[in-house]
Amino acid sequence: MAQVQIMSVIGSAVPAQLRARGLLACWYLVQDGEPISGPLTSLPAAQALSQRIGSGQLSA
């Protein structure tokens, strides 16, 4: 199984809904170059979800 990585995006790459809320950055979990999560609003949230996925605590 490929490793889950955290990808950050900034500026105009941030979805419009989040930019409208004043967020200038967001994070996604990616596996094999494909996003496996929606935009997350904080790095700690992305890290927590990554750990849950890595430990098998998240059911699909």
Instruction: Please say if the pLDDT value at position 1 is more than 80.
Output: no
Q: Where are the domains of the chain?
A: 4-56
For the chain, the first-to-last Cα distance in angstroms comes to 15
Distances (CA, A) of 47 to 12, 16, 20, 26: 23, 23, 24, 12
pLDDT given for residue 17 in this prediction: 97
Single pTM value for the model: 0.85
How do residues 11-59 score in pLDDT, each as one tens digit? 999 999 999 999 999 999 999 999 999 999 999 999 999 999 988 776 5
